[in-house]
Structure 1
Amino acid sequence: MRMFLAFVLLALSGLSQAAIKTQEIPYQSADGTKLIGYYAYDDAIKGQRPGVVVVHEWWGLNDYTKRRARDLAGLGYSALAIDMYGDGKNTEHPKDAMAFMQAAMKDSAASSARFQAGLDLLKKQPQTDPNKLAAIGYCFGGGVVLNAARQGLPLAGVVSFHGALATNTPATPGSVKAKILVEHGAMDSMVTPDNVAAFKAEMDKAGADYKFVSLEGAKHGFSNPDADRLSHGDHAGPDIGYNKAADEKSWADMQAFFKKIFG
């Protein structure tokens, strides 16, 4: 009898365990560009929860970006990895990545529209609380979410991981509504000390609520376990590297940041 009860209890406990559900969702930006989003949520959680947009590195919407969406779902968020290039395209070659990124950045209005389309898609998901929204981004995506904050989009907060800090459209006093967390690698050769100083001056002048974290010993791409592989052999070129300590520290910082802004 005891064995039977133990079996029943074990079976019942399994029913309440987290089950991360994922799906690819096609959508379009205002200019008609076809995009593909990767949505993740925990179906063991009932009701709405805060939503987080995830913006990919210059590589495009790849497995790493999708994994981060699943990680966020595991933390109890409604997470959507959005597509800034169109058709969900991605690459592992720096030359292609540079071409994709430059094409996306060439038209700032189109880039903003693609981010907005992703944000709107996330808000439409039944699991998302449309009044509690944030965005995180990596590398190219870090710059995208910082620009979203500069534009005053209705986000509670944004987090940039080894993101681009320079911009052609700096924030103006009072324009930044979202709280900002920047996780920056102290050895990031792609973001110069002048870029860092200019960003801090820009945020101070705009009156933004921001925190800038410099992670000792971390290069560009520090959060991506594939960074070392992507910087060697046929992929040689970008000065990037994975740093486990920086990855874990920055992710913990993000979790604390979200608890603060979402309550």
Structure 2
Amino acid sequence: MTAITTRTVEYSADGLTMIGHLALPAGVDRRPAVLLGPEGTGLSDVERGRADALAERGYVALAFDLHGGRYLGDPEEMLARCLPLLADPERMREIGHAALAVLHAEPRTDPERIAAVGYGTGGAIGLELGRDGVDLRVIGTVNALTTGRPGEAARIRCPVWVGVGSEDPIMPPAQRDAFVDEMRAAGVDWRLVVYGGALHAFHHPPVDHPVVPGVGYHPQHARRAWRDVVALLDECLPVTQ
């Protein structure tokens, strides 16, 4: 296993002091980078671990923050913050751009080779960066099939991959159809993977606090979704030694 280094990074966004997790691969050369967004509950050891796993594969990886260093385990508190955020593209873009600036400031980052990978709210932020015309190599999301403002998907300059559980009541078939229509109308290179029998946030291991209805872990599909994300990066943002 390749040695990596990690550190926390503080930066400002959405009126908060955000605390992200930066993972760096061994060496001193510039590497492709991944902006990693968490579920609506916020940055946790799950996303930190995924950033570390990406660094072990040779990427600079930043797991970014949503809530000023807090993890919102209370579903009501989480929804009270995330629902207005998801309804406000400019706020989502502000959070995404602030995290992206941290990646650009890291000397190990190759600024011309950056991907956005996210889960739930973090994935929606990645999509909004694409709709804002940010130069990304690929956008990959799980549980985030959010649609944008009319016409703005035409600004997406890279392939888009989305994964969703077939039984996800938060991203139901009608939402999937709306997202596909948006991507198709914009001429985006898109892919949709539906994981049979899976609920919302199926990729996230069980937590020790209440969750919103429709959330559930699916170990087999969680492993598959991670393999699919890794394969996506291997295709669109390969690490060259």
TM-score by length of 2: 0.91
Moved more, 178-187 or 237-246: 237-246
The equivalent position to 1:194 in structure 2, one of 158, 174, 195, is 174
Structure 1's 173 and 57: CA in aligned 2 closer, same or farther, altered over 3 A? closer
Task: Tell me the residue number matched to 1:111.
Answer: 92
Match of residue 34 from structure 1 = 17
One-letter identity of the residue aligned with 1:38: H
1:62-101, aligned counterparts within 5 Å?
Answer: 62-85=44-67, 87-101=68-82
Instruction: Report the Cα offset of residue 72 of structure 1.
Output: 1.3
Offset, 1:169: 1.3
**For the structure 1 residues 151 and 94, does the alpha-carbon distance in structure 2 shift closer, same or farther, using more than 3 Å as the test?**
same
* Cα distance change on mapping 1:241 and 1:128 into 2, 3 Å: same
The aligned length equals 238
Q: 1:68 to 1:38 in 2, by over 3 A?
A: same
RMSD: 1.9
Deviation string, structure 1 residues 172-206 (Cα, Å, up to 9, x no partner): 47321021110111111111211111111110000
Q: Which runs of 4+ in 1 moved over 6 A?
A: none
In structure 1, stretches of 5+ residues that fail to align are 1-16
Contact 2:20 2:63 in 1 (8 A): yes
Letter in 2 for 1:253: D
Q: Cα 1:19–1:207, aligned 2, differ >3 Å: closer, same or farther?
A: same
Cα deviation digits, residues 218-248 of structure 1 (max 9, x gap): 1111111125x54xxxx15421111122111
Aligned mates of 1:160, 1:143 — CA distance in 2: 8
TM-score normalised per structure 1: 0.84
CA gap 1:183/1:171 in 2 versus in 1, 3 angstroms: farther
Write out per-residue CA displacement over residues 115-171 of structure 1, whole angstroms, 9 at most, x where no aligned residue. Answer: 1010111111122111100011111112221222222211111110122x2335144
Instruction: Report the counterpart of residue 229 of structure 2 in structure 1.
Output: 254
The residue type equivalent to 1:188 in the other structure is D
Gaps of at least 5 residues in structure 2 are none
Question: Does residue 194 of structure 2 align to residue 214 of structure 1?
Answer: yes
CA contact (8 A) 1:52 1:78 kept: yes
Equivalent residues of 2:115, 2:237 under 8 A apart: no
- 3-state SS of paired residue (1:136): strand
> Taking structure 1 as reference, are residues 236 and 151 closer, same or farther at Cα in structure 2, changes over 3 Å only?
closer
Pick closer, same or farther for the CA change 1:167–1:261 going to 2, 3 Å.
same
What amino acid does structure 1 have at the position aligned with 2:215?
Answer: I
In the TM superposition, what is the alpha-carbon distance from 1:107 to its structure 2 partner? 4.0
Correspondence 1:54-69 to 2 at 5 A: 54-69=36-51
For residues 11-30 of structure 1, what are the structure 2 equivalents within 5 Å? 18-29=2-13
Structure number with bigger Rg? 1
CA contact (8 A) 2:131 2:154 kept: no
Q: 1:226 & 1:161 partners in 2: Cα distance?
A: 17
The secondary structure found in structure 2 opposite 1:259 is: helix
Which residue does the alignment assign to 1:120?
Answer: 101
Q: Which residue of 2 aligns with 1:8?
A: none
Distance 2:235 2:201 in 1: 26
Q: Percent identity?
A: 31
Change beyond 3 A, Cα 1:129–1:205: same
CA deviation profile, 1:20-78 (whole Å, cap 9, x unmatched): 2111111123x6532221101222x4411110011111101222221221121122110
Q: Closer, same or farther in 2 for the Cα pair 1:141/1:236, shift >3 Å?
A: closer
Which residue pairs with 1:4 in the alignment? none
Q: d(CA) in 1 for partners of 2:127 and 2:87?
A: 17
**1: CA distance between counterparts of 2:3 and 2:106?**
17
Q: Please state which structure has a larger fraction of its residues in helix.
A: 1
